[in-house]
Amino acid sequence: MSKILVTGGSGLVGRHLRDILPAAEYISSKDFDLRSEADVKTLCEKGWDHIVHLAARVGGIIENINHPAEFIEDNILMNTLLLKYARLNDVKRFTALLSTCIYPGDYERYPLTESDLFNGPPEKTNFAYAVSKLALAAQIDAVNQQFGSRYNYLIPCNLYGIYDKVDEKRSHYLTALIGKIIKAEREGREFIQLLGTGHPLRQFMYADDLARVIKGCIENDITESFNVAVSENLTIRQIAEIALEATGNSQMELRFDDSFPDGQFRKDVSNEKMLRSFPNFEFTPLADGIRTVYQYYKSHNIV
């Protein structure tokens, strides 16, 4: 049986993956500091067959704007050290998780494909984080080219799920939105306040769907790198309206504060390459996923 290590095991995707791949070993920053060369060296000497690298320093738009140096430093260190010592310890397979924010911030056509990856700079509001992830793609490609390894990376669209942090500064947009809806219910308010204009377009995927793709890559020894994303691309306002309907709050008013930045207007990616490897894959419908998270948060008193 393969010996599998998953970094970022306490994060959103890590916890969803643990539910369906319990035999792997899951670590978090409490176990090893992946910015420490000594820690990473020790970790990679444990004889892994496959490392799934999910760990990253992440945050929302405001966090990215206020702490760009920390985002790029921490992520470059983690990615570089883990990839280096995986290679030096002859880890046969390495799968890293990137983000669609690494794609060019302003492009002439959409959806973006994997061949567009290095065709322009990422959007400025999360530029440092995006560059650290883009560098990891280049590092993996370079290692494969020089050493003949079969490492790969997955580029998911925006995520949400039951295990996300409910923190308006650090949560993914949709998770924060669900938290705001629950708080408004509890406080008897008839509206929710959202940042920006509501006009940008986004793809949102339930994190369990990504976990299923990762598991499929491991079990079927898929070594290609590709986008992982739903086909639908909706405005922030449309997503919020679906969330209100799915949670039984269609009467609530949406208020947008356009003094805050929207971030990238659109960054939708093609899932055509992914579906060649997973031709029968079915994504969780957005309303169903939102309803699942909403019910989970309420039943567990998370918000």
Query: Which of the residues are catalytic?
Result: 129
Separation of CA 76 from chain center: 17
The two beta strands, 201-202 and 234-235, are: antiparallel
Token duo for residue 32 = 């090893």
Contact 118, 101 (CB under 8 A): no
Sign of CA dihedral 168, 172, 177, 178: negative
Separation of CA 172 from chain center: 9
3-class secondary-structure state, position 250 = coil
User: Whole-angstrom Cα distance, residue 31 to residue 139?
Assistant: 25
Crossing angle, helix 236-246 and helix 286-299, to 10 degrees?
A: 60
DSSP per-residue letters across 166-228 = --TTTS-HHHHHHHHHHHHHHHT-SEEEEES-S--EE-EEEHHHHHHHHHHHHHTT----EEE
